[in-house]
Amino acid sequence: MIEDKIVKYKENLTLAQRLANNRYADHEYYDKMVSRLEKMLIFYENLKVWKEKSEK
């Protein structure tokens, strides 16, 4: 489940980064979205590491 969320956030992050660079996009909105997605991605990556360590 955690791995699925990591993949989903990576895909969404890539899409948001492309949209942030789009000439017609609302750059401020997508820059904020990129920031939020990066934070969530870091959270789930840390959660994955924590879970792996706790299982040992």
The domain spans of the chain are 2-54
pLDDT tens digits, residue range 8-56?
A: 999 999 999 999 998 888 989 999 999 999 999 999 999 999 999 998 7
pLDDT, residue 42, reads 97
pLDDT score of 24: 87
CB-based burial, 15-51: b 16+ in 10 Å, e otherwise = ebeebbeeeeeeeeebeebbeebeebbeebeeeeeee
pTM metric for this prediction = 0.84
